[in-house]
């Protein structure tokens, strides 16, 4: 068997992994207090705001921000903020607007605009990275989630830096982690509706290195429309990953975004908790989400 055809080794040897890990742990910040960056004008961010946003993303692949209330409902303000961080190429989907902004809200009571996808309900969303089913040339490098309206209760997001999760996995199951880099670790069957192919079959690894040498992760806890490689090591690795995600890891951050606040991240692993909306239609939970090809801060 030609090993190189079936695997994509992430690190050439243990020493390379150890130095990557050391660098990551040295830079990583476990602090959770006061880490939201206030942005006065998202159309023209100040140098100190830019430096703080980028510093936090380099440390843990995400940053939380808060806009001046004047801009809290403006999709254009979010797009502009992202552009200044190097996020140019938006990735749309059938549910997003023409400008590729998705309005994430519970549409189950809206017969004219219903959706069969869980993000558009008030149900919990299990741990995943965005666009895990997208081909290499459209893979989601980063995304922003911006809160326009908070739910009446619930709707928190939990986040974990995928690089820190990789380090945990390596420590927990060093003999299993390689199986998550197999090029056929996960298969997403084609999405065909009324004879029209909305998405072709995708096959890929959970962990890979992107062309710039950054760790990339494709993952979902969903059970339907995903086929894991039938291999004992892959099954064990996935169950180890799932048990890590259900443990109270110190790297996990739980946030409940308020109006005007958002998460910018390099497509880290995240989930959403269930929520209850207010009876008032104008106060329903609403997030704007925009996905990008680029990673944050790679100008
Ligand atoms: Fe997501």
Q: Where does the chain show beta strands of DSSP type E?
A: 36-39, 62-67, 90-91, 102-104, 125-128, 142-149, 153-154, 157-160, 186-188, 191-193, 196-199, 202-204, 207-209, 215-217, 227-228, 253-255, 261-265, 269-272, 275-276, 286-292
Residue 16 Cα to ligand 1 middle (Å)? 31
Residue 119 Cα to ligand 1 middle (Å)? 8
pLDDT at 3 over 50: no
- 117 DSSP 8-state letter: S
* Angle between the N-to-C axes of helices 162-172 and 14-27, in degrees from 0 to 180, rounded to the nearest 10: 130
Residue 217 Cα to ligand 1 middle (Å)? 13
Average pLDDT, the chain: 91
pLDDT in tens, 100-116: 999 999 988 877 777 77
Residue 40 Cα to ligand 1 middle (Å)? 27
Residue 143 Cα to ligand 1 middle (Å)? 9
Band of the pLDDT at 32, cuts 50, 70, 90? Answer: low
Residue 2 Cα to ligand 1 middle (Å)? 36
Evaluate whether 64 touches 29 at the Cβ level (below 8 Å): no
Q: Residue 2's pLDDT is what?
A: 34
Question: From CA 49, how far away is CA 26, in angstroms rounded?
Answer: 23
Burial class (CB in 10 A: 0-12, 13-18, 19+), 150: buried
Q: Could you tell me which of 257, 251, 288 has the C-alpha nearest to residue 61?
A: 251
Residue 166 Cα to ligand 1 middle (Å)? 19
pLDDT in tens, 178-228: 999 999 999 999 988 888 888 889 999 999 998 888 999 999 999 988 999
pLDDT at 18 over 60: yes
pLDDT at 117 over 70: yes
């Amino acid at each position: 068997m030609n090993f190189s055809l079936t695997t994509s080794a992430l690190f050439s040897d243990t020493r390379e992994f150890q130095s990557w890990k050391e660098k990551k742990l040295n830079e990583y910040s476990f602090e959770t207090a006061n880490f939201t960056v206030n942005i006065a004008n998202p159309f023209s961010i100040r140098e100190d705001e830019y430096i703080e946003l980028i510093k936090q993303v380099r440390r843990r692949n995400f940053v939380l921000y808060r806009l001046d209330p004047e801009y809290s409902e403006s999709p254009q303000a979010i797009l502009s903020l992202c552009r200044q961080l190097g996020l140019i190429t938006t990735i749309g989907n059938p549910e997003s607007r023409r400008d590729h902004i998705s309005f994430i809200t519970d549409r189950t009571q809206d017969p004219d605009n219903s959706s069969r996808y869980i993000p558009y309900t008030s149900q919990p969303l299990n741990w995943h990275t965005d666009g895990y089913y997208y081909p290499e040339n459209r893979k989601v490098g980063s995304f922003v989630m911006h809160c326009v309206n908070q739910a009446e209760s619930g709707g928190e997001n939990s986040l974990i830096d995928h690089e820190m999760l990789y380090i945990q996995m390596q420590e927990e199951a060093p003999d299993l982690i390689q199986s998550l880099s197999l090029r056929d670790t996960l298969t997403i069957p084609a999405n065909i509706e009324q004879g029209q192919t909305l998405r072709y079959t995708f096959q890929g690894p959970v962990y890979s290195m992107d062309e710039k040498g950054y760790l990339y992760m494709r993952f979902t806890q969903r059970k339907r429309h995903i086929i894991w490689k039938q291999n004992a090591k892959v099954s064990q690795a996935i169950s180890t990953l799932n048990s890590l995600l259900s443990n109270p890891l110190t790297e996990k951050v739980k946030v409940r975004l308020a109006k005007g606040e958002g998460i910018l991240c390099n497509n880290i692993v995240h989930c959403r908790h269930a929520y209850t909306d207010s009876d008032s239609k104008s106060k329903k939970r609403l997030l704007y989400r925009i996905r990008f090809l680029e990673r944050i801060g790679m100008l």
